[in-house]
């Protein structure tokens, strides 16, 4: 592994997570590098156009070049390319925040959204992450993964054997009905429902979810819209050229 590349990525991630410009000293402490090493890497990133220095403060910040590269990658994502009209059709029926996510263990990563225009709503950003073991979207994908993959990440993320077994039982129920529900799972006071978007080899390549405030998106309400969510995720899968399996008779592909 190229240690210089790893160090540069750590500095980029630290700058990305900060709302303010950062000085060399504080960055070096955060990423645990010497000031000279941090300054040298920052100088390279400035030369390549990924970082800029404020001439008045000598502090550093990321440029939009990172966003430019990320946008190109996002635009090539097949789910994102086909999902938008299906999200708009779903939004016409359900005025709640709709998200499309992909699995990037141990998280899900949001790649597309339509946000509710209700004054009180569940907000999320494209590019934001949520823990896969707690989010409805993550559980709707993991439920159709091989048991060894589920057990590995559940053991790491949950630890307690009893809780791991309960989680596996929950995933079994998700496999039977074809959707997952999360009650204050990844965010307190926010409930959500999600159904898998299918890819090749009968493995979900993403998930479609609807989220809203707990007082409006009650368990009963989410159960009531489950067929609409599953239908929308099925249409996205079909737009990708994949037929959804028969839920309840699902079998893992070796």
- pLDDT exceeds cutoff 70 at 246: no
Cβ atoms of residues 153 and 106 within 8 Å: yes
Task: Please check whether residue 79 is in contact with residue 93, taking contact to mean a CB–CB distance below 8 angstroms.
Answer: no
User: What is the rounded distance in angstroms from the CA atom of residue 248 to the CA atom of residue 29?
Assistant: 52
Please determine whether the domains at 3-67 and 77-239 fall in the same fold group of CATH. Answer: no
Distances (CA, A) of 99 to 55, 122, 135, 144, 173: 40, 11, 12, 19, 22
**In sequence order, what are the beta bridge partners of 191?**
183, 212
Does residue 251 have a pLDDT over 70?
no
Measured from the Cβ of residue 239, the count of other Cβ atoms closer than 10 Å reads: 16
Three-state SS at 149: helix
Cβ neighbours for 231, distance < 8 A, ≥ 6 positions apart:
none
Beta-carbon contacts of 3 under 8 Å, excluding residues fewer than 6 positions away, are none
Query: What's the pLDDT band for 247 if we cut at 50, 70, 90?
Result: low
Fold entry, domain 77-239: Beta-Lactamase (3.30.450)
Confidence band of 161 (pLDDT split at 50, 70, 90): confident
Quote the pLDDT of residue 44.
Answer: 96
Provide the strand spans (E) within 105-225: 107-114, 129-131, 180-183, 190-198, 204-213
Cα distance between residue 211 and residue 115, in whole Å: 9
pLDDT in tens, 1-28: 568 999 999 999 999 999 999 999 999 9
Cβ-contact 188, 208 below 8 angstroms: no
The percentage of the chain sitting over the pLDDT mark of 70, rounded to a whole number, equals 95
Tell me what pLDDT residue 250 has: 52
Q: Does residue 195 carry a pLDDT above 70?
A: yes
CATH, domain range 3-67: 1.10.10.10
At 200 the pLDDT is: 77
Domain boundaries, the chain: 3-67, 77-239
């Amino acid at each position: 592994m190229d240690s210089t590349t790893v160090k540069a990525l750590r500095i980029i991630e630290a700058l990305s997570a900060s709302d303010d410009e950062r000085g060399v000293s504080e960055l070096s402490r955060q990423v645990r590098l010497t000031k000279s090493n941090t300054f040298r890497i920052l100088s390279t990133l400035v030369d390549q156009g990924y970082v800029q220095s404020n001439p008045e403060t000598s502090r550093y910040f990321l440029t939009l070049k990172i966003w430019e590269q990320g946008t190109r990658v996002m635009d090539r994502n097949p789910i994102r390319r086909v999902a938008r009209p299906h999200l708009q059709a779903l939004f016409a029926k359900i005025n709640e925040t709709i998200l499309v996510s992909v699995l990037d263990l141990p998280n899900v990563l949001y790649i597309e959204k339509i946000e509710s225009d209700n004054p009180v709503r569940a907000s999320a950003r494209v590019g934001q992450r949520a823990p896969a073991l707690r989010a409805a979207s993550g559980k709707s994908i993991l439920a159709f993964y091989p048991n060894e993959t589920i057990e590995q990440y559940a053991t790491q993320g949950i630890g307690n054997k009893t809780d791991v077994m309960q989680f596996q039982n929950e995933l079994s129920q998700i496999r039977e009905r074809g959707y997952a529900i999360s009650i204050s799972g990844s965010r307190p006071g926010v409930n959500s429902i999600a159904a898998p978007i299918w890819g090749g080899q009968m493995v979900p390549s993403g998930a479609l979810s609807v989220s809203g405030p707990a007082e409006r998106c009650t368990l009963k309400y989410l159960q009531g819209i489950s067929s609409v969510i599953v239908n929308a995720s099925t249409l996205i899968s079909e737009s990708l050229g994949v037929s959804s399996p028969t839920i309840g008779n699902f079998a893992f592909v070796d």
